[in-house]
Amino acid sequence: MLDQDRTDYIIAYRYPFSKYAKELISASSISMSEQLLSRSFDELIGILNNHYPKESQSIDIRSVTEFLTRYAVERAILSYYRDPTAISLFSEFHSKRSLDIYFNNTKDMDLISDDLGISSYHRSANLNVIKVAEFLNNKSSSNNRLSLKYMNIRRGLVYLEDALFDIFLKDAFYNAVSKGLPISKDLIPKEIMQFCSRNRLSYKINYSIKQIKSVKGKGSIEWIERLLNIPIPDGRHRVVNLILAPYLVNVKALDIEEAVSIIRDYIERCKALNNTSITESYIRYQCKYAKQKGLKPLSKAKAIELLSQFIDTSGIFNEKADKA
């Protein structure tokens, strides 16, 4: 059992997206020193490059406050660069970290259910129960195991066995960590803005994290293959109908359903940054239309013009790799 006077900051350390963490940070006096900014930046670069920081061996108010401060600064740094892939990698790391901790401390759910967007959560007859609306708001639509048609639903509630609930929690934790990212630039402290303007966010994509299955081979266009692993926060409708659908069905010569599956998975990653109204039926229609009309994807020049409105395209368009 936790000592009652230690509960708040232990929960804050375990779940830095929680209200307990936000309250601790709000009550702290944070000095945006060069040392803090440099350490937070280095830790963030490590996370993005799959070199994860070690967990603190002592959980006291000082170590927790320092950890939460770096977490908040790292979110602000990510928001300055507004790099969708970096945001996704950061969210993956922290959601997995907190989820692993939760699996060893499942009684914590009583304290964090609101932060996970499942305030209705309770146990009944050895099942995990939440409202249908909360279930739909959190689950990934690409996960067939969580399809609503397979769920045990009664009177507006979803009843989940432990195995399915664990799968559902992966999405809920990810959503909780990524919520609010990127922060509006007018809310980023000026010290962080100035620090970021002098430093470059450099990392290599870890393709094992939420990777879209590669379809490289004969007829591949390298920059589109890279695009499939870099989610974007806006312009997804145009990317689907002008780039991805024509590329997959006419350049890669995939069948319609395979192309739909690849695009659907890509859009799910994009939703982690900003929701979209794109549906599977829209994707299927665009794939069929591209096939029927024999459409080709946008040229590289036009794609740069389109995508540069939403992201830094340097991670997609590599001049040395794209000479052909």
Per-residue pLDDT reduced to its tens digit, 75-123: 999 999 988 778 888 998 999 999 999 999 999 999 999 999 999 999 9
- Output the pLDDT for position 27: 84
- Output the pLDDT for position 146: 83
Residue 302 structural domain: 222-315
Average pLDDT over residues 214-234: 75
20 assigned to some structural domain = yes
CA separation (Å) from 148 to 75, 85, 134, 157, 270?
33, 29, 12, 11, 22
| pLDDT exceeds cutoff 90 at 12 | yes
Q: List the Cα angle 165/171/174 in 5-degree steps.
A: 135
Q: In terms of domains, do 79 and 20 share one?
A: yes
203 assigned to some structural domain = no
Say whether pTM exceeds 0.85: no
Q: In terms of domains, do 87 and 119 share one?
A: no
Q: In terms of domains, do 9 and 93 share one?
A: yes
161 assigned to some structural domain = yes
Q: In terms of domains, do 231 and 192 share one?
A: no
Q: Are 223 and 317 in contact (CB under 8 A)?
A: yes
- Output the pLDDT for position 244: 95
60 assigned to some structural domain = yes
Q: How confident is the model at residue 215 (pLDDT cuts 50, 70, 90)?
A: very low
- Output the pLDDT for position 86: 85
| pLDDT exceeds cutoff 80 at 3 | no
232 assigned to some structural domain = yes
Q: In terms of domains, do 167 and 295 share one?
A: no
Q: In terms of domains, do 230 and 289 share one?
A: yes
Q: How confident is the model at residue 204 (pLDDT cuts 50, 70, 90)?
A: low
CA separation (Å) from 80 to 65, 121, 198, 318?
23, 35, 12, 23
Q: In terms of domains, do 193 and 91 share one?
A: yes
208 assigned to some structural domain = no
| pLDDT exceeds cutoff 60 at 210 | no
- Output the pLDDT for position 163: 92
Q: In terms of domains, do 63 and 192 share one?
A: yes
Phi–psi pair at 153, nearest 5 degrees: -120, 130
Which position has the higher pLDDT, 43 or 145? Answer: 43
- Output the pLDDT for position 292: 92
Phi–psi pair at 154, nearest 5 degrees: -145, 125
